[in-house]
Structure formats: C-alpha cells, structure tokens
C-alpha cells in the first residue's frame, strides 16, 4: 500500500503523573506529539504505512522524538536535523470541574527555523497516496508555511490526496503575516478539510449566508465554491460534560449533503490530547480502507473516542477495539 505522509512540528510533552500539578511535580512524564505526526502514528499503529516529515535539533531531545515515533512504526527517514531546540509543552491533567492545562514553550524550535529547501518533496512523496497537514504549520513561521506550500504543490502535481485540519490558533501567528494572507492559498490545494464555522470565519472570512438551516452547511458550500478542489469538509463536535467526561460526534459535507455520525459518550477520560488527530487518522483510514463516507465518519469518531482512554498523544487503540465501538458497543467487555 502506498504511504500516507504528514508534515508538521513535533513537540516534547512533559506532564506530572496522575492528576498532579506542575508545582507539585518531582518528575514529568515525557512523551512526544504533534497534530500531524499523531495522525501518522495512529495510521502506522493500524498498519497503514506512514511517514512524517519534520525538523529536530541534532541532540538527545531530537533523537528521543525520532525514537518515539519510530517505535510506533512511523517512517522517520525524512526528518532533518539541525537548529537548537525541540518545542515543548507542559500539561497538567484535570478531573471533574478542574480543566486540563497546557503551557507552550515552542518558540524558536528547529522546526520554526527549518529551511524549506531541506525537504525534497518529489522524493518524499513519490510513493505516497495521501498528504496531510494542519493550520498550525503555516502559523509557526514563514519558512514552515513555505515548506507546507511546496509540499502541497508537489502533492497536487503527483495527484496525491491532500487533507488539512485548518485549525486556527490565534496565539501562534506571530511572524508578521496574518492567517488570512497565508492560508487561502494552502487550502486551495486541499481535497479534504476539517473546518468548523469559527475557523471558516477567522481564516476565510466566510459566514453563514442563511441559504441552509445549518450555518455550517452554508459556510461549507461557500468554501467549496471558492476552492473547487475541495471535495469534502468535515466538522467535529465535542460535548464538554466535565474534564472527565465528554461526548463526540462529527459531520461531513460533500457539496450536496450533510452526513452525521452517532454521538459517542466517553464516560472516563484518561488523556484527551490528540483526540482530534485520532479522528483525522480514523477518517483517513476510512477513506483508504472502508471507502464509505458514513463508515469513515463512524470509524473516525470511534477512534477519537478510544483515544481519550489512551495515554499519550498518539492513538494506540487497536483495530478490533475501534470496530467494536463503531458498531455502537461501548461496554468495554474484557477480552481474553
């Protein structure tokens, strides 16, 4: 099977054990993750060949990040080494009404200072069938945006499916260009995007025009009108009952109709970070293997729900577990 390629920053994640706060911690658990690499990780865990492209510092922290993703089975041969530091983020896990908290320390990472010329996309993408990026990369630096732009172009040239979680994070856009200057060009090269109403307004200035009952459908229609390459737009919805309990569902629009998944309740959250990336990986898996939009959505929601019970950013839910949840069985019956 041809591989899926993802591109984006990977950060070290440092979090106190259990429900401890950082001011209480004598040790921090170390994992690694990134919105795009988590997709590659989850796919590799499900047996889909996946390669991730990024840049790491050439020291212990960069090597540890490579090792971490290699362990899951992600092909890390295209990683470039150089620069000074690995981006980090610190997380505390909440419970009940106490929120989980994330403190970023990612400025000036090796990824932010990458040189777009370091990546030979024709070589990287030659055996690929899918390229996935997110709105975080173009937010980080001019050069990261540029590398993303080039990757999308090559992917388009090679006829590879391009997907993106457009994911606007206001705080990240610090290098002098605005999201509205940079993103439209990149979105134009996509076949599939994850994009909610808020993102559409922030990134594309598109708001519901009243043509459909659902604001999101209206927005999606306008996006598709503006970006003819886009074939499907996805939206995910999280119901926040407490830090320990959430619900998940998703919607897909193919230009004609809106498809809705079931809503899955997660009754005990272990680690919600990466839940969206697990959705994306599940959706890509669905597109590649299940080839049915309703099933893909359902698989993606099940995968995302299960991710909330897995420690670390990467979804290590097994195929049979996802399939069980996808069929509506949330009983978690012991497997011998």
User: In the complex with a second copy, which residue's Cβ is closer, 3 or 272?
Assistant: 272
Q: Least distance to a second copy from the beta carbon of 197, Å?
A: 18
Q: How far is the CB of 139 from a second copy (least distance, A)?
A: 13
258 strand-pairing partners: 253
Residue 106 or residue 149: which is nearer to a second copy going by CB? 106
Measured at the CA of 75, the angle between CA 39 and CA 149, to 5 degrees, comes to 60
Nearest approach, Cβ of residue 112 and a second copy (Å): 12
Q: CB nearer to a second copy: give 63 or 153.
A: 63
* Smallest gap from residue 218 Cβ to a second copy (A): 27
In angstroms and rounded to an integer, the radius of gyration of the C-alpha atoms of the chain is 19
Dihedral (CA of 335, 239, 193, 174) sign: negative
Terminal CA-to-CA distance of the chain, rounded, Å? 31
CB of 209 to a second copy, least distance (A): 30
Nearer to a second copy, 22 or 258 (CB): 22
* Whether the Cβ atoms of residue 261 and residue 251 lie closer than 8 Å to each other: yes
3-state SS assignment for residue 177: coil
DSSP-derived secondary structure letter, 23: G
Question: Quick one: 58 or 118, whose CB is closer to a second copy?
Answer: 58
User: In whole angstroms, what is the distance from residue 130 CA to residue 50 CA?
Assistant: 9
């Amino acid at each position: 099977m041809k591989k899926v390629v993802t591109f984006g920053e990977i950060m070290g994640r440092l979090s106190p054990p259990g429900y401890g706060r950082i001011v209480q911690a004598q040790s921090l658990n170390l994992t690694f993750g990134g919105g795009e690499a988590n997709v590659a990780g989850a796919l590799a865990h499900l047996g889909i060949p996946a390669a991730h492209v990024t840049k790491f510092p050439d020291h212990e922290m960069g090597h540890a990040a490579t090792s971490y993703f290699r362990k899951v089975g992600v092909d890390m041969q295209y990683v470039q080494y150089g620069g000074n530091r690995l981006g980090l983020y610190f997380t505390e896990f909440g419970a009940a009404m106490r929120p989980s908290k994330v403190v970023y320390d990612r400025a000036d990472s090796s990824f932010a200072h990458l040189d777009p010329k370091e990546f030979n996309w024709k070589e990287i993408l030659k055996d690929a069938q899918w390229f996935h990026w997110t709105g975080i990369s173009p937010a980080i630096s001019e050069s990261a945006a540029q590398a993303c732009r080039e990757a999308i172009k090559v992917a388009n040239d090679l006829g590879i499916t391009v997907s993106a979680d457009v994911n606007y994070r206001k705080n990240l856009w610090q290098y002098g260009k605005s999201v509205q200057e940079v993103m439209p060009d990149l979105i134009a090269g996509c076949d599939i995007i994850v994009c909610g109403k808020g993102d559409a307004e922030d990134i594309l200035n598109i708001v519901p025009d009243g043509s459909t009952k659902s604001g999101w459908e209206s927005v999606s229609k306008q996006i598709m009108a503006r970006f003819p390459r886009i074939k499907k737009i996805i939206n995910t919805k999280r119901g926040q009952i407490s830090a320990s309990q959430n619900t998940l569902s998703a919607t897909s629009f193919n230009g004609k109709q809106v498809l809705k998944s079931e809503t899955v309740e997660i009754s005990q959250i272990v680690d919600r970070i990466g839940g969206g990336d697990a959705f994306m990986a599940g959706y890509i898996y669905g597109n590649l293997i299940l080839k049915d939009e309703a099933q893909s959505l359902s698989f993606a929601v099940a995968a995302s729900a299960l991710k909330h019970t897995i420690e670390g950013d990467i979804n290590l839910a097994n195929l049979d577990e996802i399939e069980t949840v996808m069929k509506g069985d949330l009983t978690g019956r012991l497997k011998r």
